[in-house]
Structure 1
Amino acid sequence: MRKMTIVGGGFAGLTAAITAAEAGVSVTLYEAHHTLGGRARTAEGPYLINEGPHAIYDGGPHWTWLKQRGLLGELAPLPLHKAAGLRFHHHGALRRIPPLGFVRQTRRPAEQAPVDVDFRTWATTVAGPATARAAASYSGVALYHHDPGALSARFVQERLHRAAAFPPEAHFIKGGWGRLVDRMAARARALGVRIETSSRVDRLDDLPLAEGPVIVATALPSAARLLQDPSLTWESGRTVLVDLALRTRKGDPFALSDLDAPGWVERFTTQDPSLAPAGEQLIQAQLPIGPTQSKADGIAHVERLLDLGFAGWRERTVWRRAAVSQGRTGAVDRPGTTWRDRPAVDRGDGVYLVGDQVAAPGVLAEVSFTSAVEAVSQALRGSILKERLDLKRA
């Protein structure tokens, strides 16, 4: 294989580009936006925010891959004494420690949970209804779904187990994920990858000089339009994202988890003060909302949590924004389904699909990474097989 084309310059697209270029392939990458990154893009300006909270889990395959290439960069570690600032909203009150049953549930290995039973039913059986509700709500930090209890027990328990691990698996890129994107882009260019930004591709036939395999690394709805394949769908969460900059005040918690309903509020400047100007702190909240709920419903939930944990936050607010993230929060698996049932990576005819809603294992960004590496691997194997068949015919 001599050439490869990649559509989409987010985390998945850049991973695929680097992997292919390291194998000696000539890669051209097209990105519709004027900057790379996709959902890993960090906003410009005084507040270095991403589209929702962005963590990287050290238990995933991408951690080792990035570290080996010097791409992980400097992390923003959370000191243990700061981690003690985690608060829990439970039974209508703010608490410093979660219920004991909840802690026990988070320690259960995912392998104990069945695939074909919903999490609420299984967790109620093994731990009781109160623990099932609290555990399902907490898992929202890694699910972005309004009703985690209705999803596959195995799917939810894996994310619950990893999100609540101690010491924490979750880490943060200092300066935001945009720094990671910049390092990946520099690596890709150094390997000879041609990157074309502000280059929207609406049909595969529109690709200039398209030769060799094509990897589509866009959001699933965009991929469905590009490939003209309406079957490319999978359920995802719908979430209200609220970003706030507050004047600094001692006593604010590091994070606040709602155990009565899925919701999470985090002070990201606790571990990385560079994300906001001096004297200010950056707060990010993500609250899943159901199909009949509005943006206002989600914001009202955020404000109730802020009232509980961040005294005088309204008077201290110096900047604020809110948005709804629809279908852009990764795949969620219903009972009886696993990652293997999601849209396949190999679409046939030399076209491959990657991203966080396709048939690849992992949590959050790990799905994008794993699918990207798998797509390049399949493309290389397919090219070798084709070359052997051509030689045999000759």
Structure 2
Amino acid sequence: MPHITVIGGGFAGLTAAVTAAETGAKVTVYEAHHTLGGRARTAEGRYKTNEGPHALYSGGPHWTWLRQRNLLGPLAPIPALEAARLRLHHKGALRRTPPFAMLKLLRRSSRQAPVDVDFMTWATEQAGEEGARAAAHYSAVALFHHDPGSLSAAFVQERLRRATRLPPEAHYPRGGWASVIDRMAARAWNLGVRMETLARVDALPQDGPVIVATSLDSARRLLKDASLTWASGRTALVDLAVRTRRGDAFAVSDLDSPGWIERFTAQDRGLAPAGEQLVQGQIPIAPHESRADGVARAEHLLDLAFDGWRERVTWRREATANGRTGAVDLPGTSWRDRPGIDRGDGVYLVGDQVAAPGVLSEVSFNSALEAVTLALKVRQRLDLKQA
């Protein structure tokens, strides 16, 4: 059987490693950090935060794959009472229901949006400017982009439908995403995968197929390929722990501008110490804006939905995710136009900004399966030719 090298031990890399090992291939994973997980890491300590809001969408192919291998683990459902506390920031106030015009775009019978037109133009024709703008901003929960209306209408529509589907597709692994990563790593280990951490790779190995499961920026440097670029988002991330108070919102979606605040302990109380709530926010920011601009907008939403939060804060952290929130497709492009998985000479590229379908982590998953399939087929053809 071939030896496959996987560079990167995040969700995509571990998916590739497990899939290849299940076929009998020998696999080695190299991870530059001291822990596996990539962007799916969960912080250690009292407050178990991820790099921005993380959820598993049950409508995606990775859901079935993880469940079949008993890798999902226990999930933290959203209590019905908490779900009823979703608030929408529209026209400067918090509301319980979206504008009626926005609902037109959520109907299953609504027309399929085109690829070559921006969402704002197409949606305005369907529901008017107010509904189109509200829908575009709501979709930011699955886009992390400062101007969703400027993106391909088909791209935004798919994410809007997935984010608003009932019953909700979003599910939360209890204990954070690291619990899923730990189970994936354990399965890889049991399959004989060799995993090396603190192992930065600066040159491609020559023994067998190589799957590069890093960020696009890192892959561009490693492969010395300037074409490995694609648009992504830039997002201000705010993590807070606050003392518990009745009446706090479960989540706030900003319909006046892109942004999302969520109280993650609403479904998983183990993410913070007893008597405290863990709140995470993601506010997409434009290229000319600073992190402080995004934090200021987050604080405004907190003022509206979390009464007295400033006096209740027990812990706080801020960060910026730049190009780390997945691919976004501009008008006239689709996932097929992103950097290809097969880079030639037995090198395959996987991750959330490559040419594979899906929403958020589904792109990483689909690209990992495709890369392993291509790598094994190539090796089988070579072996047959040599025989």
Q: Tell me whether 1:171 sits opposite 2:171 in the alignment.
A: yes
Equivalent residues of 1:32, 1:197 under 8 A apart: yes
**What aligned pairs does 1:9-20 form with structure 2 within 5 A after superposition?**
9-20=9-20
**What aligned pairs does 1:242-391 form with structure 2 within 5 A after superposition?**
242-391=238-387
Q: Tell me whether 1:141 sits opposite 2:137 in the alignment.
A: no
Residue 103 of structure 1: how far off its partner (Å) = 2.3
Q: Is the alpha carbon distance of 1:215 and 1:74 closer, same or farther for their aligned partners in structure 2, counting shifts above 3 Å? A: same
Residue 301 of structure 1: how far off its partner (Å) = 0.4
CA distance in structure 2 between the aligned counterparts of 1:146 and 1:2, rounded to whole angstroms: 44
Secondary structure at 1:344's aligned position in 2?
coil
Residue 104 of structure 1: how far off its partner (Å) = 2.6
The answer for unaligned runs of 5 or more in structure 1 is: none
Amino acid at match of 1:86: L
Secondary structure at 1:175's aligned position in 2?
coil
Residue 99 of structure 1: how far off its partner (Å) = 1.4
Give the paired residue count: 387
Residue 111 of structure 1: how far off its partner (Å) = 6.6
Amino acid at match of 1:376: V
> Identity rate of aligned residues, in percent?
68
Residue 386 of structure 1: how far off its partner (Å) = 1.4
Secondary structure at 1:242's aligned position in 2?
strand
Equivalent residues of 1:289, 1:298 under 8 A apart: yes
CA distance in structure 2 between the aligned counterparts of 1:256 and 1:92, rounded to whole angstroms: 13
The answer for unaligned runs of 5 or more in structure 2 is: none
CA distance in structure 1 between the aligned counterparts of 2:320 and 2:209, rounded to whole angstroms: 35
Secondary structure at 1:230's aligned position in 2?
coil
Amino acid at match of 2:89: H
CA distance in structure 2 between the aligned counterparts of 1:234 and 1:381, rounded to whole angstroms: 28
Amino acid at match of 2:358: G
Q: Tell me whether 1:26 sits opposite 2:26 in the alignment.
A: yes
Amino acid at match of 2:385: L
Q: Is the alpha carbon distance of 1:332 and 1:109 closer, same or farther for their aligned partners in structure 2, counting shifts above 3 Å? A: farther
Equivalent residues of 2:211, 2:350 under 8 A apart: yes
Q: Tell me whether 1:56 sits opposite 2:59 in the alignment.
A: no
Query: Deviation per CA, 1:227-279, whole angstroms, max 9, x where unpaired?
Result: 01011000000000000000000000100000000000000000000000000
Query: Deviation per CA, 1:191-229, whole angstroms, max 9, x where unpaired?
Result: 00000000001221xx4xx41100000000000000010
Equivalent residues of 2:18, 2:191 under 8 A apart: yes
Name segments (4+ residues, structure 1) moved above 4 Å. Answer: 108-111
TM-score (norm 1): 0.97
CA distance in structure 1 between the aligned counterparts of 2:264 and 2:63, rounded to whole angstroms: 21
Equivalent residues of 1:7, 1:214 under 8 A apart: yes
**What aligned pairs does 1:92-107 form with structure 2 within 5 A after superposition?**
92-107=92-107
Amino acid at match of 2:216: L
Q: Tell me whether 1:156 sits opposite 2:152 in the alignment.
A: no
Q: Tell me whether 1:226 sits opposite 2:225 in the alignment.
A: no
Residue 157 of structure 1: how far off its partner (Å) = 0.3
